[in-house]
Amino acid sequence: MTTLNGGSGLNGSKYNTTYTDDITITGDIDGSSRVSLVSTTGTIVVEGKIDGSSMVTLVSNMGSVLLFDKIDGSSDVTLIAENGKVAIGPEITFGGHNDDIGKIDGSSQVYVRATEYIFTNGRIDGSSNVIFKGGEVSILEAGLMVEQLLDYKQILASFTFTIK
């Protein structure tokens, strides 16, 4: 497994690298970072958020792409799982729900493609443009209806919603 920037994340960093194993970023991608990472055989995990006008492309050829926090702050993000899932926010939550976790907000531009499924644990809001392509899409948001989660003018694709 490849771990990038243990704890401090990628703040203002520039990466354009391909790895053959799992990739874990143990903090945020923030501060106008420019990050392009490819895992040819593993899963990519970002334990923090993507924020602060960062440009991020994460591609897993054989695994999944997992973001444990949110996408915000005018970030431009591409998440691709050629043979897996993409999850934004935790798929299982314990206790109360934090509205920030799993959201796509702040005029961010997001493209997500997955063969298995696409999952987000928060709102799509704040003039963000989002394209979801591929597998089934699931949006979990503390008992809210789809109409409360999405401004349909901001969604640029057709897909099936499953509200859990």
Read off the pTM.
Answer: 0.82
Q: Which pLDDT score is estimated for 23?
A: 95
Instruction: Name which of 22, 34, 87, 30 is nearest 60 in CA terms.
Output: 22
- For the ranges 21-25, 87-91, 145-149, the lowest mean pLDDT is seen at 145-149
Range of the domain at 145: 2-163
- For the ranges 9-23, 29-43, 144-158, the lowest mean pLDDT is seen at 144-158
Domain count, the chain: 1
Which residue did the predictor score with more confidence, 111 or 135? 111
Compute the average pLDDT of residues 50-79.
96
Instruction: Name which of 123, 108, 49, 110 is nearest 80 in CA terms.
Output: 110
